[in-house]
Amino acid sequence: MFRFHTRRLLCVAAAATTPSPDVLQVTKGVANRLEDLSPRAITEILNAYIVGQEAGKKAVAIALRNRWRRRQLKDVDLRKEVLPKNMLLIGPTGVGKTEISRRMARITDAPFIKVEATKYTEVGFKGKDVESIIEDLYTNAKLKARRALEKERHSEALSMALDTVYSAWSVSRRMQVMDRTIRSASKAEEAATATAESGANALESSSSDDVASTKAKEGAVSDDEAVAAAAAAAATTEVQQHTLEYFREHYEEEPIKSDMVTIDITAPQPPSKPKEGGIDLQSVGMLLGLSGEPKRPKMSVTKRVVDAVPLATQEALDKLIDEASVNTLARALAEEEGVVFVDEIDKVVAEPSSANADVSSTGVQQDLLPLIEGSNVTMKDGSVIATDNILFICSGAFHVAKTSDMIAELQGRLPVRVELQALTENDFRRILTEPKFNLLRQQQEMMKTEGIEVAFPEEGVNALAKVTCAVNAQGQNIGARRLNTVLERVMDEYSFNCEDYAGKKIEVTAKIVQEATEKLQKNVNLAKYLL
């Protein structure tokens, strides 16, 4: 009960802030990112990483484009009525359900989180409730918001950082010059003392003759000294400016980059305090008007110039970017661009005929309803996130339970349903060769670092696909993830004894694949321990 009262009070206490120009600029950039991406173009991008599953890629491409279409509506009232069409992806594990959603979010750099439905419990039961999903999404959005704002202000921050490091560097250089001067003076001290004594005697004899002339010229000398001092100051300023420009251009080069400097930075953020007794202490502190975060102290660090500049740049960014701007942008990103992928939704769906139906699992479905339909959720910092335009993608294998076993209200809030097909031997062959950063290319580049050239002829690729398909059929079908198991078994010999194969070329033929995976194919139970 305390949790809900706290949320209502925090919602009232949350103050609206006017977005800064940086926030508006970043938001506009995010909105225009999809302008040139039609559903077909989005699908082509997904094809570079995902093999097959055309229906799934088509569905997410349409959902992504619909976001851009909604933003083009000039009628504000109409725009509020246009809501995202949440999806339900149905298919066995390892066929690309998660990857399709993750790649879709990466196209626009949208906040994306993947959660498992089985980790949440109904409100009132011990465990995490579903509203923490939005908190996790907001945390992800804050990271992206800060990164975007830092990118906007990076040039300004770098300029400030170079000034800071230059000041420390110039002081260090002056100290070195003074140290060398003092050492040189100490070595010549004895000779200078003797010379000073003889000079003092000569000065004493001639001082009486110079007194009158000195007084006569005193006024003129004072004027000359003032002019000379001004000229010296101007010359010093010009020299310092030239030195600063040289430092800015060459701080990443020797000999400047290896010079040691000492700068002041803010101490790292201490670990956050855990909740006690289920009560969020940070939210309680905000409710009572207490500061959420104590002021962090300064600390001095000594680094090379090239290492000090990034630290000083981050320090400058922290000064230029206020937390309110980050929260404002994060809220906009989470509400308008956020994607929540809820995996294993079928695990919280009980068969109607089951005598052991989990009441808490059914409650999880009911708790998901307001989030998917649209509601306001208060975050720890007082921000209120509206979930109306967040895209929810639920997925599950539905081997035991059926989609019709879901509560009717949840079925109605997942209008787009896509069935993904189990992978065939030909699909495995394509997965090994077609994606931009396919598994074979990864292995080749990794072994190349050891001086080993690895080639996968067509017969070897076919054998890898055949073995993968066979093991999936004999044991538990884990889809494309099985390729990693088979490929690692084949490459195990070369990876471990890399020094014996350095400078050689290896062809992974069908025979090599068969020999390396012979035990894996014979003993189905062994495959269970290779995941």
In a domain, 222, yes or no: no
Number of domain units in the chain:
2
Domain end among 396, 419, 442? 419
| Domain identity same for 369 and 441 | no
| Domain identity same for 126 and 64 | yes
Q: Specify the CATH number for the domain of residue 105.
A: 3.40.50.300
At residue 186 the predicted structure's pLDDT band, cuts being 50, 70 and 90, is low
| Domain identity same for 325 and 414 | yes
Residue bearing tokens 């404002």: 328
Domain end among 376, 397, 419? 419
At residue 7 the predicted structure's pLDDT band, cuts being 50, 70 and 90, is very low
Per-residue pLDDT tens digits for 51-105: 888 999 999 999 989 988 998 899 989 988 988 999 999 988 888 888 888 888 8
The answer to whether the beta carbons of residues 337 and 67 sit under 8 Å apart is yes
The answer to whether the beta carbons of residues 496 and 445 sit under 8 Å apart is no
pLDDT at 11: 39
The β-bridge partners of 393 are 87, 341
Domain end among 419, 451, 477? 419
Most trustworthy range by pLDDT among 13-27, 124-138, 357-371: 124-138
pLDDT at 174: 61
The stretch 425-447 carries a mean pLDDT of 91
| CA distances for 132 relative to 120, 243, 379, 514, angstroms | 9, 53, 9, 48
In a domain, 134, yes or no: yes
| Domain identity same for 435 and 387 | no
Q: Specify the CATH number for the domain of residue 460.
A: 1.10.8.60
Neighbours of 71 (CB within 10 A): 14
| Domain identity same for 444 and 477 | yes
| Domain identity same for 473 and 380 | no
Tokens in use for 441? 């290319």
In a domain, 406, yes or no: yes
In a domain, 221, yes or no: no
| Domain identity same for 65 and 93 | yes
Range of the domain at 464: 425-522
Better-predicted residue by pLDDT, 255 or 439: 439
Across the chain, mean pLDDT equals 78
**What backbone phi and psi angles, to 5 degrees, belong to 90?**
-115, 130
Pairing of strands 298-304, 260-266: antiparallel
pLDDT at 443: 92
| Domain identity same for 40 and 141 | yes
